[in-house]
Chain A
């Protein structure tokens, strides 16, 4: 009756999560711009609210357009499902909020997106978690930081803006030893260049604002559960104990491998309220349809730009993991065989003022705080994204005063290089 097939990545980026609408026949994903849904009858309504039946109740918690986006990302990451959020930071906060209680401990690499460092420190202060930052390259440091109350290990596939590549398998092995999930931010790689779950990561988070959307139009984020972590290992009563919010429902016992995502949706999104707009979900679905094509071009352009920059007068260092000069070259070859993304940092000679002048001279590179757009972007972290960090934290995040971050877009690469040459 049914022909089972292992569909290819390109097929899934176009089709997964979106069947033709059974009511209208619409082939493109309709934007279900509705706040709520009419119940068939009172018993159905009760079944939906009791979570006994998969049904639509209120668009803060679920929406058919958003669900299409969620299933598509889950499919591309090889996960069991996903929950979308209003932003990447909301997704990350939601992922952690669902796992942690006051007194719990997180071990995270220190070379992270500045917004993530700030968020982890805020959560630490306000929600009573403890966070230890370690050198992500040192497996000994990861292991030494583990405590009995460690409940999460956190890292990024490709660090920002240092171009660090995490040895996911090695960190996942530490996570398994302690019985805690490894949460990986895979924003810079996308599931096309790396699927952390294939290397032992348990939960993957994304800022969909970047390459997933691909066009710089929408803010959004998503959490994918790879289905690999055993939340019933005795260390996660927050997930296994009866939930007072659902009359004593035990999420892991009742939903098995889907328990974490059910709780993430039915409690965390419901309570924190940071739901994704269905219109943004629609734009992300459009973006995903061309993800592999765009990433191949992003990578090709980034490699050409990095090759051109390396060794050029005025350029102290190009920190791109695809370059043989990078300390992460071997790890990139292993984890990112199709390319190390298109976001990397360049340390310019002449320090802070020179870097600012360089950014101002550019004509088609846009000076703004985002990455992963079809358009080429540039920013000076020390005066923008990472300006909340102290000098010590800057060093911890691998940033120098003359560091500029490039996000190489899809333009004609000769034009990008022409512009850089003028500004250097």
Chain B
């Protein structure tokens, strides 16, 4: 299973409101910061999960998913693949809606834990890129969004 189903991806980015980013870096040059900054710009509430930081992107950072007081819709992971099974168990315990594993964060075991726990799973995809593909302006830079429509309101 590839965990890259377009239906699943679109349904997650359309319904999500609160996104916990596990491994969010305070370094504004890192990919995780790019994604966090972008998602917040596009109306998502971003919840940083990074035990080494007090706050990132101007909001409180939590040491682990278990410490996040409110339910999250998506757990977006920027960690080494071997950290994923534990994060998946925490995401299931926290009642998250989806586990999203960024580029290169590939863990069949972690994905299976999340699926068994009833979560939607996306793997080896970037949440920023997929948002930009379906709702944003990725087509402004010549990327292949796969989107074809005769509707005026789309995009």
Contacts and interface: CB of A to CB of B under 8 A. Distances in A.
Nearest to B148: A15
Contact of B142 (A15, A19, A265): A265
A56 B140 CA distance: 7
A70 B145 CA distance: 11
Contact of A1 (B10, B104, B140, B155): B10
B137 A253 contact: no
Interface in B117-155: 126, 129, 132, 134, 136-155
Given A4-B7, A250-B29, A75 B146 contact: yes
Contacts of A20: 149-152, 154
Contacts, number: 116
Interface stretch (B33-41, B93-101, B108-116): B33-41
Contacts of B142: 62, 66-67, 69-71, 74, 81-84, 261, 265
Interface in A373-424: none
Contact of B139 (A15, A71, A265): A71
B29 A249 contact: yes
A19 B137 CA distance: 12
A16 to B, nearest CB: 6
B39 to A, nearest CB: 11
A265 B132 CA distance: 17
A219 interface: no
B51 interface: no
Contacts of B104: 232, 256
B143 A80 contact: yes
A62 B29 contact: no
A2 B141 contact: no
Contacts of B141: 54, 62, 67, 70, 81, 261-262, 265
A254 interface: yes
Contact of B136 (A54, A68, A69, A74): A54
Interface in A75-103: 75, 79-84
Interface of B: 6-7, 10-11, 14, 29-31, 34, 37-38, 41, 103-104, 126, 129, 132, 134, 136-155
Interface of A: 1-2, 4, 7, 11-12, 15-17, 19-22, 25, 47, 52-56, 62, 64, 66-71, 74-75, 79-84, 232, 242, 247-250, 253-258, 261-262, 265
